[in-house]
Structure formats: structure tokens, C-alpha cells
Structure 1
């Protein structure tokens, strides 16, 4: 499954482009711009599984660094600071990774 099966290619391009500058990533604005906030819980779960590259059932810190590339190959890597901030926001149980439910909560909060 591709990200464009769930989200509009145009919305993805705009959202990723809006955060192309280093240290500019804001997950709340990004999830809203990309259209994820308006999606059903099933669609949010589909996006989670696309971002979970190693199919572990979690999005680990290493996968978070490439979250924008998960939406489009043109996306930049997040900085270490941005990656740690995103992990801190999403990791509700403190296990160092983001599960599907935590991801859904992260999207809903934005």
C-alpha cells in the first residue's frame, strides 16, 4: 500500500514542502496539512503500518527520523532534535517507540 492510497498526493506534497527547512517540523501542523487528522481510525492505522518499515508493530526512533520520506521520497530526514521531540510526543508509555494506539492518539491530539 502506498501513502497516496490513503492521502492526497497534492496534500502530501504541500505538507512535506512546508517543513523542508531544517528544524521546522511540527507534527501537529504536518498531520493537519497532510489530511491525516480528518481520516478514519482505519486510515490512520494504514498510515502507521506504512511508516512501520520493519513491520515490528512499532515506529522506533530510527524510523521516525525518516517519517517525511515515508510520505514521499522527496521528504527530508528529521534532525535528531526533531526526531526526539516527535518520539517524546508520541511515546505515551515510555518504552522508546510508538505503537499503533499511541500514533492514533498523536494524530488526534494535533
Structure 2
């Protein structure tokens, strides 16, 4: 199951179009454009579970690199700069990973 199954295809396309160029990813704009920020807490947790591909309970740096591909298979990988910035924003407790509550906070911000 992909996160895309929870969202409108047109919204995903618009969100991905806004971050096509390298180093153009902005998590707030992306979450708003794709509609994830308007989803319920349970739906955000389901999205987290999909992005957490190794089912560790955390989204690690490697999983963040492939973040956009959870929304569309043909989407680009995040650059190292984007990945590190995304992790820094989401990792509130400084453990080097994003937990489900940290992810939910980031999506709703």
C-alpha cells in the first residue's frame, strides 16, 4: 500500500510538481499540497507506517531519502541536503530518527 491510496491523485501530482527540482522540497508545502496535513491522526499514523518501510517504528535517514517515492513510484529521491534538513526538522528528541509522534507533529504544523 502506498500513501497515495489515501490521497487524491491530483493533489499528489501538484505536490510533487512543487518539488521537482533538486533541493526544492519543503515539507510544509508538500504536506499541505498533497492533503496529508488535513487527514486524521489515524490516517497520518497509517502514512507513517507506510513510509517506515523496515517497520522499525522510526523513519530513518535512508527512508527519508526515498520519501517522495511513497507518494508516486516515479518521484525523485531527496538530495542529501534535503534529507538532512527534513530529519533535523522532524527529529524533536535528537535521536537521529523520526518517530510516529514527531511525524504527526511535523505533518500538522
TM-score range, shorter chain: over 0.9
The superposition leaves residues 82-102 of structure 1 with CA deviations (integer Å, 9 ceiling, x where unpaired) of 000000000000000000000
- Offset of residue 108 of structure 1: 1.2
| Aligned-residue CA RMSD (Å) | 0.9
Counterpart for residue 42 of structure 2: 42
Size of the aligned set, in residue pairs, is: 109
* Unpaired runs of at least 5, structure 2: none
Provide the rounded CA distance (Å) in 2 between the counterparts of 1:100 and 1:5.
19
Q: TM-score of the superposition, structure 2-length normalised?
A: 0.96
Q: Is the CA contact 2:52–2:59 (under 8 Å) kept in the aligned structure 1?
A: yes
Counterpart for residue 10 of structure 1: 10
Provide the rounded CA distance (Å) in 1 between the counterparts of 2:54 and 2:40.
24
Residue correspondence of structure 1 range 1-110 to structure 2 within 5 A: 1-109=1-109
Structure 1 stretches (4+) deviating beyond 6 angstroms? none
SS in 1 for 2:106: helix
Provide the rounded CA distance (Å) in 2 between the counterparts of 1:95 and 1:26.
22
